[in-house]
Amino acid sequence: MKKILVTGGAGYIGSHTIVELIAAGYTPVIVDNLCNTSTQNIDGIEKIIDTKVKWHNVDCTDKDAMDKVFTEHGKIEGIIHFAAYKAVEESVQNPQKYYDNNMGSLEVVLKCMQENDVKNIIFSSSCTVYGMPDVLPVDENAPFKKAESPYGETKQICEEMLKADTCNSVALRYFNPIGSHPSALIGDCSADRPSNLVPIITEVAIGKRKKITVFGDDYNTPDGTCVRDYIHVVDLAKSHVLAMDFLIRTPGQHAFNVGTGIGVSVLDALKAFEETNNLKINYSIGPRRSGDIEQIYANGNLVKTKLGWEPIESLEQAMKSAWDWEKQK
């Protein structure tokens, strides 16, 4: 069984990926310092797979601690590197924190890989690397625009770090992950107040917030609100397994968009949540939020051709699972 080290594996996307790796026959080992999650996801993973999962409470920027993890585990087939901070607004307030953790953790991981002869890494990138693309749907050849935030900048720089390294890599450029595992046993355990649309909607639905503000309805989109490409986190998790299979048989440096290719406006997303869960969400229209791009959705041809990955879950399934997670978390 091939061993995969998964940094940030107790987080939102990481925990879903652990479940899919195990289902595919890999043996994952989690490294997570719980700075933005809790052991709730580890417990949840263990309930879903009905077995214990190996994990280390280690900070990936701590080279000595990471050395010990690599030594303990012997042959590691590949790394999936999720560990990073992800709050865009906080990155504007405190860029250094983001540079230190997001680039610092990748730097340590790459050093450990070299020293331990581990060749393969999947990296969590983001569609933020494209900024507001000139052509939609955006494909992988689109140029990186000036980043809208230090967070976006860290993703661009990390992709450059991978290109400058000798390892084999896949950068997966996620669009907008939403939803949770259908068991509602794992999900986003972040302690921060969410700034993404769907977690805010679920907080309104449960009564943690009074209403949601839609930032701008005067964009050049069908209903005037921003358009995004929402991808179910379970589909996204599966793309990591296919990416690892691909990288093992296809050494080199690769980047793939992981999105549905479907642009959904903020108002469409609200409506989908309301209709799926038979709930009314209190919202109002506010001014545009600085840093928001007008619209983005993926051209998914490359990931389909090379990895054989396609989204399966619907927007409605994602909205139902997001609500199920909020109700029990």
Ligand X SMILES: NC(=O)c1ccc[n+]([C@@H]2O[C@H](COP(=O)([O-])OP(=O)(O)OC[C@H]3O[C@@H](n4cnc5c(N)ncnc54)[C@H](O)[C@@H]3O)[C@@H](O)[C@H]2O)c1
The residues, any chain, with a CB within 8 Å of residue 87's CB and separated by 6 or more, are 151, 192, 195
Structure tokens of 224?
């005037």
**Helix, strand, coil shares, percent, the chain, to 5:** 40, 20, 40
Binding region for ligand X (CB under 6 A) out of 28-36, 46-54, 280-288, 319-327: 28-36
Binding ligand X (rule: CB under 6 A), the pick from 86, 232, 240, 254 is: 86
Out of 4, 18, 44, 59, the only residue in the binding site for ligand X (CB under 6 A) is: 59
Instruction: Name the minimum Å distance from CB 62 to ligand X.
Output: 8
Binding region for ligand X (CB under 6 A) out of 30-38, 63-71, 159-167, 213-221: 30-38
Q: Which residues of 197-220 are buried (b: 16+ CB within 10 A; e: fewer)?
A: bbbbbbbbbeeebeebebbbbebe
134, burial (CB in 10 Å: exposed 0-12, middle 13-18, buried 19+): exposed
User: Taking the complex as a whole, how short is the minimal distance between the CB of residue 292 and ligand X, in angstroms?
Assistant: 14
* Of positions 11, 78, 216, 311, contacts ligand X by CB under 6 A: 11
Distance of closest approach, residue 280 Cβ to ligand X, in angstroms: 26
| Residue closer to ligand X (CB basis): 40 or 314 | 40
131 contributes a contact to ligand X by CB under 6 A? no
Q: Does 174 bind ligand X (CB under 6 A)?
A: yes
Among residues 82, 78, 81, 102, which one has the least CA distance to residue 91?
102
Site for ligand X contains 36 (CB under 6 A):
yes
Using CB under 6 A, which of 83, 200, 258, 298 touches ligand X?
83
Nearer to ligand X, 1 or 191 (CB): 191
Instruction: Give the integer Cα–Cα distance in Å for 3 and 7.
Output: 13
Interface with ligand X includes 101 (CB under 6 A)? yes
Query: Does position 12 bind ligand X by CB under 6 A?
Result: yes
Cα separation, 9 vs 83, whole angstroms: 8
Is 228 an interacting residue with respect to ligand X (CB under 6 A)? no
CB of 276 to ligand X, least distance (A): 20
Q: Minimal CB distance to ligand X: which residue?
A: 11
Contact status: 190 vs ligand X (CB under 6 A): yes
Q: Which of 6, 19, 28, 33 binds ligand X (CB under 6 A)?
A: 33
Q: Which of 105, 111, 79 is nearest to 5 (CA)?
A: 79
201 close to 278: Cβ distance less than 8 angstroms: no
Q: Is 199 a residue that touches ligand X (CB under 6 A)?
A: no
Distance separating alpha carbons of residues 58 and 69, to the nearest angstrom = 9
- Residue whose C-alpha is closest to residue 256's, from 230, 270, 236: 236
List the one residue out of 154, 153, 69 whose CA is nearest residue 115: 69
- Select 196 or 253, whichever has its Cβ closest to ligand X: 196
Give least dist CB 278 to ligand X, A: 26
Residue type, 32: D
Q: Which is nearer to ligand X, 195 or 282 (CB)?
A: 195
Taking the C-alpha atoms of residue 100 and residue 187, their distance in angstroms, rounded to an integer, is: 26
Q: Which is nearer to ligand X, 99 or 287 (CB)?
A: 99
Residues with active-site annotation: 151
Among 91, 120, 126, 321, binds ligand X (CB under 6 A): 126
Distance CA(278)–CA(276), nearest Å, equals 6
What is each CA distance from 25 to 18, 21, 105, 280, 296, in whole angstroms? Answer: 11, 6, 27, 42, 34
Binding site for ligand X (CB under 6 A): 7-8, 10-14, 31-37, 59-61, 82-84, 86, 101, 105, 124, 126, 174, 177, 188, 190, 196
